[in-house]
Amino acid sequence: MSALFSSINWITPVPTVPSPASAIRRGEDIMVIRLSAKMRALRVRLGVSSRKYQPKLAAKLAAPYRRPMNTSPILLVLAGKRDGKLDPMAADAGVSHKCRVPICGKALLQWVLEAAIPAFPDTKILVSIHDPSVITDLPAVIELEKTGRLIICQAQAGIVESVEYAAKQAGDSAWPMVITTADNVLVTSELMRDVHSDALAGDGDAVVVLATREAIQAAHPEGQRRFYEFSDAAISNCNLFWLRNATALKAAEAFRQGGQFIKTKGRIAKSFGIINLIRFRLGWWNLDTAFKAISRALGARVVPYMTTDGAYAVDVDNPRTYAIAEILLKERKL
């Protein structure tokens, strides 16, 4: 090794006249060196190790070079048929789509759109549905068409496919996206705005709105009967979701085969792994640990938004929840 170094030392470099191109390259090198020095100084001030990858620091440093995010989200209402089949409630009401089932004098979808329209007055509203002709006479749909805010999207085979297709239809304005369902009749403009504001300020890729068992039962004792049981809380989702960008679609993979996710142990195991299924079933997870594990499994940071109003967890899913939603609608929106 010493012989190698000694052989290098006696080689005399031949002086050359720098070309304009090499001068430019040398100037670029100097800029890179100066930038690297500034980065090292920044790491020292922040107390960050230069050897360890820091995702939050990386996000801050990269922020000036990202495309600015829209301040208002786009809104997507899922109004299609589950698995393309006629819903039992739709059959009982004599309509082809569940979103046309009447409650308190209006179609389910009408109630949801009445909340969505004023939530973000400058944004587009997408409605994913199998047959668009069945909603053309709804007052909210007519209003959205007149103002140029409506985008009708063909519903696909499943939830994830429908969201992906709607995002493609929306193009560059697709993100961030607030998603709800046509049977979520108790959702409000205020909740949509609060979730968006909180999510935009956070670092999650996807946000799931949840309510605790205590909050739901305070709204109505029979509001929900099934809960996600964790060591520190029993919760139910409120059919309201927020996605930051296309990366967040990874968080929807668990629902690719439909929305009734928690009822099937095999689907939990397939999406999150058998070990996580065991932890979940034995109640070893607290809510924070569960979401961290879910985020790792899906490759996207999923965070909960906890609402204190349990009524938001009541949707129109069957005759029992229809009756409860009807009571709450009369109390809150009539």
Q: What local confidence, expressed as pLDDT, does residue 254 receive?
A: 60
Half-sphere exposure of residue 184: CA atoms within 13 angstroms, side-chain side? 26
For the domain spanning 74-332, the CATH number is 3.90.550.10
For the cut 60, the answer to whether the pLDDT of residue 112 exceeds it is: yes
Query: In this structure, is the dihedral angle defined by the CA atoms of residues 263, 268, 269 and 271, taken in order, positive or negative?
Result: positive
Q: Would you say residue 71 has pLDDT above 90?
A: no
Give me the pLDDT at residue 51, please.
47
Res 294: pLDDT: 83
pTM strictly above 0.85: no
Highest mean pLDDT range out of 35-44, 195-204, 225-234? 195-204
Give yes or no for a contact between 240 and 119, defined as CB atoms under 8 angstroms apart.
no
Exposure string for 54-78, b = 16+ CB within 10 A, e = fewer: eeeeeeeeeeeeeeeebebbbbbbb
Pick from 168, 172, 148: nearest CA to 160: 168
Are 109 and 99 in contact by the 8 Å Cβ rule? The answer is yes
CB burial of 209-248 (b: ≥16 within 10 Å; e: otherwise) equals bbbbbebbeebbeebbeebbebeebbbbbbbbbbbbbeeb
Mean pLDDT taken over the chain: 81
- Among residues of the chain, what percentage have pLDDT more than 70? 70
Query: What digits encode the pLDDT tens for the residues 130-155?
Result: 999 999 999 999 999 999 999 999 99
| Highest-pLDDT range among 250-259, 267-276, 281-290 | 281-290
**Predicted pLDDT at 252:** 73
